[in-house]
Amino acid sequence: MQITQLPIHRSTEEILAQPRFPAARDALIDAMLALYEHHPRLNRLLQEAARNLLFVLIMCLNARYDENDRSTWPTLQLVMRSTAAQGVASERRIHGLVNQFVKAGYVELKPSARDRRVRLVTPTTKMVAEDQNWLRSHYTPLQVLFPEPGYDFIMRGDPEFQMTQRLIASSFLEASRSLLAEHASIVRFMMREGGMMTLLKLMALDRRGKLQGGVSYADIGGRFGVSRTQVRKIAQEAASVGFLSVSDDDRPVIRLTPDLYKAFDRFTAAGMSGHDLIYQLALQTMASSPADARARARSGV
Task: Judge if the upstream peptide bond of residue 123 is cis by omega within 30 degrees of 0.
Answer: no
For residue 290, the model assigns a pLDDT of: 53
Domain assignment present for 255: yes
The answer, yes or no, to whether residue 299 has pLDDT greater than 50, is no
Give me the domain span that covers residue 203: 186-259
Domain assignment present for 239: yes
What's the total number of domains in the chain? 1
Predicted confidence band of residue 181 (pLDDT cuts 50, 70, 90)? confident
Domain assignment present for 197: yes
Domain assignment present for 225: yes
> What amino acid occupies position 54?
L
Nearest to 145 by CA among 9, 15, 11: 15
Average pLDDT, the chain: 90
The answer, yes or no, to whether residue 94 has pLDDT greater than 60, is yes
**Distance between CA atoms of 244 and 242, rounded to whole angstroms?**
6
For residue 296, the model assigns a pLDDT of: 46
Domain assignment present for 129: no
What is the per-residue pLDDT across 261-294, written as a single tens digit (0 to 9) for each?
999 999 999 999 999 999 999 999 988 665 555 5
Predicted confidence band of residue 301 (pLDDT cuts 50, 70, 90)? very low
- Could you tell me the CATH number of the domain that includes residue 219? 1.10.10.10
What is the per-residue pLDDT across 144-174, written as a single tens digit (0 to 9) for each?
999 999 999 999 999 999 999 999 999 888 8
> What amino acid occupies position 15?
I
Contact indicator for 198, 224 with CB cutoff of 8 Å: yes
Which residues fall within 8 angstroms of residue 166, CB to CB, at 6 or more apart? 56, 59, 60, 62, 63, 131
Q: Which phi and psi (to 5°) does residue 290 adopt?
A: -55, -35
165 burial (CB, 10 Å; 0-12 / 13-18 / 19+) is buried
Quick count: other Cβ atoms within 10 Å of Cβ 163?
21
| CB contact burial 192-215 (16+ within 10 A = b; e otherwise) | bbbbbbbbbbbbbbbeeeebeeeb
Domain assignment present for 247: yes
Dump the DSSP string for 112-145.
Answer: -SS-TT-EEEEE-HHHHHHHHHHHHHHHHHHHHH
For residue 300, the model assigns a pLDDT of: 42
Domain assignment present for 172: no
Domain assignment present for 46: no
For residue 139, the model assigns a pLDDT of: 98
249 burial (CB, 10 Å; 0-12 / 13-18 / 19+) is exposed
